[in-house]
Amino acid sequence: MKNNKTILLLAAIICLINSIAFAQLDSIKIKPLLKKHISTLASDEYGGREPGTKGEKLSSTYIIKEFTAIGLTAKGERGFLQPFTFTKSLKVGPKTKLKIKGFEIEAGHASYPLAYSANASAKGIAVHMGHGIKSPSLNHNDYDRKDSLKGKIFLIDASTPDHGGPHSKFAEFADLRTRIDNAIAHGAAGILFYTSDSEMKELTLDSKIKVTPCTIPVMYLIRAKSVILHSDMEFEIDMTAEIIKEEATGNNVLGYIDNKAENTIVIGAHYDHLGHGGDESLYRGEPAIHNGADDNASGVAGVIELARYFKANGPKSNNYLFMAFSGEEKGLLGSGHFAKNPSIDLSKVNYMLNMDMIGRLKTEEPTLIVSGVGTSDAWKITMNYIKQDNFKVKTTESGVGPSDHTSFYLKNIPVLHFFSGTHNDYHKPSDDEELINYKGEFDILNYMITLIEKLDDKGKLNFIKTKEEDSQESPRFKVTLGVVPDYAFEGAGMRIDGVSDGKPAAKAGLKAGDIVISIGELKVQDMMSYMKALGKFEKGQNATVGILRGKEELKIEVTF
């Protein structure tokens, strides 16, 4: 009898050991699969995976193929796909024209509509309206005049009276929309902006500005042509603004495991990237494919392999929705669309885990950054009981950040964001597959599996609104050093993780790994003191930047 009990006890121990071993990914099998996914998605053939392009379609097709092979159920509107439309660009339409004093100004180059403009025409006498600013507190009113303004074309200097740019004392009264609304209220038939400030960046027809058009044509005349407006004589302006929206379709990819449970865990990552560059690129050369191996083929590979694991081995107390988002780089378009048009009941979502850049865990001082731990009481409690020696875990509280988990947090869903850190290849063509740390990603995925399994019997997590870390009073600053901070660094100073080409830091010879400890006479102890130090300088000024490079303390002259 005693021997039978011993045998049963040993059998139970063996089963327990096997179950613990089973609750981890198989390194021999998974690492080659991670490499396959990232190599494919980050290949030149996929062209940088910009939303609405052939590369995005190739990517979604690949993800669907993997989801299908794993055995996930389609959970989109069109099979696995959930399409959404977005404005890819704004273009100057062929009807656009601008005639000043009878002279036609070249549309699309010397003049163009602004995003605020209606598609409309106006013809009338031009009237100079200064900067178009009304500021009672500063005793400034460009509309304090007695002549009739109704039906005229307002000429408005887009700079400010003190040429202070975004840091002008007039800034709160000088945003374009406020000036446009003031002009319309005073009878403007059309508005022509220009600038007298040689340091001010020219206005553009910017598709990233999300605005509702006004009711009149609003155009901009480039600085080089604005001399034609300098006249004391009355003259006429004839203007037509036409903006053509180029719309495109992006697609989220949704795969589901239905365990007939009450609640669902969402696990996601964005699969889009920057195509051949664009405004978000930190690369300053000719257009080139931005393959985005870490950002974010690494996260998508993680989604696919977690789906494979939880389909075969996962606990059954929750359902699982695996999502690959598009449009993240253009402003969380895909996840935002899903949050507004969910294919499941959002009130039944237990929590959301987001992987954005998990492929470059550092080999020295490896640190996994986990954001959103303040969004539920369960996060810290559970994470404290996860033992692992492969990396350090650094946490932040806020549920808001520049990635797709934010869309779920804003729907009162607990979230976590997993991030292995920035690097010098971020948003550059050099973010390629051969730089991926596969062991690091493998370890991160195992950590996530452990977290999910430890929470399996805890029911639905509570949700807590967090104090947004960006809401603390941040100083305004007029200059940039041109570096990517290492957000995982916890020492004194601000460690540089990447240096942007052509910016002051690069020109001065600062390098990734340098720790900024002072700017001018001001000490830098952390990110906030770094920002406050920058806020003391103006464009064109010089500053001595103190850094630690290894064990050596250096003083480097930087021109902003």
Domain boundary among 241, 256, 284: 241
Amino acid at 508: A
Whether residues 202 and 340 fall in one domain:
no
Total structural domains within the chain: 3
Domain boundary among 458, 490, 506: 458
- Say if 465 falls within a structural domain: no
**DSSP string for 166-189:** GGSTTGGG--HHHHHHHHHHTT-S
Whether residues 131 and 280 fall in one domain:
no
pLDDT at 29: 87
**Quick count: other Cβ atoms within 10 Å of Cβ 234?**
8
Give CA 272 to chain center in angstroms. 12
Specify the 3-state DSSP secondary structure of 192: strand
Could you tell me the pTM of the whole model? 0.76
Map tokens 């402003």 to a residue: 331
Specify the 3-state DSSP secondary structure of 463: coil
- Say if 540 falls within a structural domain: yes
pLDDT at 271: 98
Determine the structural domain holding residue 527 and report its residue range.
Answer: 475-559
Give CA 218 to chain center in angstroms. 29
Which residues is 438 bridged to in the sheet?
A: none
Tokens found for residue 93: 């339409």
Whether residues 449 and 479 fall in one domain:
no
Q: Does residue 301 come out as left (phi exceeding 0), alpha (psi in the -120 to 50 range) or beta?
A: alpha
- Say if 13 falls within a structural domain: no
pLDDT at 19: 37
Cα 60-62-67 angle, rounded to 5 deg: 90
* Distance, CA of 471 to CA of 390 (rounded, Å): 33
- Which contiguous run of DSSP H or E holds residue 534? helix 527-534
The 111-113 sheet, strands edge to edge: 103-105, 97-100, 236-241, 120-128, 153-157, 190-194, 218-221, 111-113
Whether residues 360 and 454 fall in one domain:
yes
Burial of 326 (0-12, 13-18, 19+ CB in 10 A): buried
Residue 464, phi then psi, degrees to nearest 5: -130, 130
Whether residues 84 and 101 fall in one domain:
no
Helix boundaries (H) for 189-318: 298-312
Fill in the DSSP letter of residue 330.
Answer: G
Whether residues 540 and 398 fall in one domain:
no
Q: Which of 389, 366, 388, 386 is CA-nearest to residue 488? A: 366
Whether residues 206 and 331 fall in one domain:
no
Cα 495-497-500 angle, rounded to 5 deg: 115
Fill in the DSSP letter of residue 387.
Answer: -
Please name the residues in contact with 3: beta carbons below 8 A apart, sequence gap of 6 or more.
none
Give CA 313 to chain center in angstroms. 34
User: What CATH number has the domain bearing residue 485?
Assistant: 2.30.42.10
- Say if 9 falls within a structural domain: no
Whether residues 277 and 416 fall in one domain:
yes
Q: Which of 365, 335, 370 is CA-nearest to residue 450? A: 370
Map tokens 């729907």 to a residue: 411
- Say if 23 falls within a structural domain: no
pLDDT at 1: 46
Map tokens 């409690």 to a residue: 381
Whether residues 233 and 291 fall in one domain:
no
pLDDT at 552: 94
Residue-level pLDDT, tens digit, the chain, 560 residues: 444 444 443 344 334 333 333 356 777 889 999 999 999 999 999 999 999 999 999 999 999 999 999 999 999 999 999 999 988 888 999 999 999 999 999 999 999 999 999 999 999 999 999 999 998 889 999 999 989 999 999 999 999 999 887 778 888 788 888 899 899 999 999 999 999 998 898 999 877 666 678 899 999 999 999 999 988 789 999 999 999 988 899 999 999 999 999 999 999 999 999 999 987 889 988 999 999 999 999 999 999 999 999 999 889 999 999 999 999 998 899 999 999 999 999 999 999 999 999 999 999 999 999 999 999 999 999 999 998 889 999 999 999 889 999 999 989 999 999 999 999 999 999 999 999 999 999 999 999 999 999 999 999 999 998 875 443 334 445 788 988 777 667 678 888 877 777 889 989 999 988 999 999 988 887 776 788 788 778 888 999 999 999 999 999 999 99
Which residues is 190 bridged to in the sheet?
A: 153
Cα 351-357-361 angle, rounded to 5 deg: 110
Domain boundary among 393, 424, 458: 458
Whether residues 502 and 548 fall in one domain:
yes
Q: Strand 392-396 to strand 367-371: parallel, antiparallel, or no bridges (unpaired)?
A: parallel
- Say if 323 falls within a structural domain: yes
- Say if 12 falls within a structural domain: no
pLDDT at 403: 94
Which residues is 516 bridged to in the sheet?
A: 494, 547
User: What CATH number has the domain bearing residue 370?
Assistant: 3.40.630.10
Whether residues 76 and 100 fall in one domain:
no
Whether residues 221 and 156 fall in one domain:
yes
- Say if 177 falls within a structural domain: yes
